[in-house]
């Protein structure tokens, strides 16, 4: 989290911070983050969203046909293939109210009167939503230990699993940035949810689908696929942390946060 705050500060000021200045910047952003967390967990909606996410994963992995227990060997590949599609629904539901409700209720004007700049507001809301997503992902580590205990052979490839979780974190971070951005365009939370869902699907799978169109094979298909999130998520999920994939994810995150920041300027 501190690395994210540090990069946001540099992006905002264009300078390297001293300790006191950075501490003030981070503390102000953290106050917005805590407000976002309280707002999310102040009603049953937040808890229900997380429970539904965990329940859907659990049923698909251990109950429905084609579950992990039917494979005959220890693997979490099915989870890492399924999780992105469930996150496509979970994360827009988490982020859709971030700015939309502020605009609708008129509380964004009150937020502007506080000694906060736009980057602190954007960063605080982004970190708040991302922490909620991380809270939803943490219990899934139980799947790893469960399969490891049930395995009668060498068990799960730990290195590949760690790589897959890192990929899943970056994927969630990108989806969160997209959700925050779309919420800054409208005062209607439902509209924000729909736009965020469509944007996430297009960026995650759209370029992969376009690359398979007839006429593109053996030519531009590889480069078109590289633009999509799925290409880089699949790369990290193999257990190899490539700096190009990390740079891609960070670039997309900062792109959407920058768009969010510019949207707030118009307000």
- What φ, ψ does residue 186 adopt, rounded to 5°? -145, 160
pLDDT at 153: 65
| Burial of residue 168 (number of CB atoms within 10 Å: 0-12, 13-18, 19+) | buried
The helix-helix angle for 158-183 and 229-237 (nearest 10°) equals 160
155: left (phi over 0), alpha (psi -120 to 50) or beta: left
Prediction pTM value? 0.85
Low-confidence ranges of the chain (pLDDT < 70): 1-25, 65-74, 151-155, 215-216, 218-219, 267
Residue 76 has what DSSP assignment?
A: -
pLDDT at 33: 84
pLDDT at 193: 92
* Paired tokens of 176: 């969160």
pLDDT at 170: 93
pLDDT at 179: 93
- What φ, ψ does residue 228 adopt, rounded to 5°? -80, 155
* Paired tokens of 101: 């409700």
pLDDT at 173: 94
pLDDT at 169: 92
**Helix intervals (H) in the chain:** 2-13, 19-41, 44-62, 77-95, 100-105, 107-113, 118-137, 141-150, 158-183, 189-201, 207-211, 221-227, 229-237, 243-265
Cα diameter, the chain = 61
């Amino acid at each position: 989290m501190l690395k994210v705050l540090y990069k946001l500060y540099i992006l905002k000021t264009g300078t390297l911070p001293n300790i006191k200045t950075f501490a003030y910047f981070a503390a102000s952003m953290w106050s917005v983050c805590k407000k976002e967390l309280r707002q999310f967990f102040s009603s049953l909606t937040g808890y229900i969203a997380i429970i539904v996410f965990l329940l859907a994963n659990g049923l698909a992995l251990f109950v429905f046909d084609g579950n992990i227990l039917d494979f005959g060997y220890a693997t979490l590949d099915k989870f890492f293939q399924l999780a992105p599609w469930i996150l496509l629904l979970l994360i827009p539901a988490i982020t859709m109210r971030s700015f939309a409700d502020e605009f609708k209720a008129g509380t964004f004007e009150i937020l502007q009167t506080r000694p906060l700049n736009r980057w602190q507001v954007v960063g605080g809301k982004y970190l708040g939503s991302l922490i909620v997503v991380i809270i939803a992902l943490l219990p899934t580590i139980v799947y790893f230990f469960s399969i490891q205990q049930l395995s009668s052979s060498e068990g799960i490839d730990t290195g590949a699993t760690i790589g897959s979780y890192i990929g899943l974190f970056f994927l969630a971070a990108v989806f969160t940035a997209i959700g925050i951005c779309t919420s800054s365009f409208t005062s209607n939370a439902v509209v924000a949810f729909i736009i965020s869902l469509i944007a996430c699907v297009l960026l995650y799978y759209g370029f992969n689908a376009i690359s398979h169109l007839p006429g593109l094979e053996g030519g531009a298909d590889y480069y078109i696929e590289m633009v999509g999130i799925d290409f880089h998520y699949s790369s990290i999920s193999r257990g190899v942390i490539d700096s190009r994939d990390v740079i891609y994810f960070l670039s997309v995150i900062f792109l959407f946060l920058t768009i969010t920041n510019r949207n707030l300027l118009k307000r």
